[in-house]
Amino acid sequence: MHEWSLAEAVIATVIEESIKEGLEEITKIKIKIGELQQMDTEIFEFALNEIAKVQDVGLLLSEMRIEMETERAILKCGVCGKEWAFDETGLGEEEYEAVHFAPEVAHAYIRCPSCKSPDFEIVQGRGVLIDYIKGSGK
């Protein structure tokens, strides 16, 4: 169910930002979803639309289109500083699925391609962010 609480947070932020920028009608928002974010994007999109419908903000959200894009996951080695993309880690399908489902197990499967250290962090590709909000104002 966390798709719904995430969607609620996104819509609340969109409204807040739009008011700050003096927008009266939002035409489009773009949302980036991390490759390692554990989420059903169909449910998320549905939730966004449903939540947008019941907001008491006049016409602000009535014409809003939602575009979603997956953000590639980037890993960074804590030892040598090398950065590499999660989809270049050469994992088999089963390992890829395991990590995708639970990013915290990544360290069991992934090693730095340069120095073979299992000590790395996920620098991009977790979480949800609003890339932009487009609309018209006064």
What residue ranges bind Zn ion (CB under 5 A)? 77, 79-80, 82, 112, 114-115, 117
Min dist CB 118 to Zn ion, Å, is 10
Min dist CB 114 to Zn ion, Å, is 5
What 3 state SS string does 46-83 have?
Answer: HHHHHHHHCCCCCCCCCCCEEEEEEECCEEEECCCCCE
Min dist CB 76 to Zn ion, Å, is 9
Q: Say if CB 56 and CB 94 are below 8 A apart.
A: no
Residue with Cβ nearer Zn ion (117 or 136): 117
Residue with Cβ nearer Zn ion (21 or 119): 119
Min dist CB 36 to Zn ion, Å, is 19
Residue with Cβ nearer Zn ion (66 or 91): 91
Residue with Cβ nearer Zn ion (12 or 79): 79
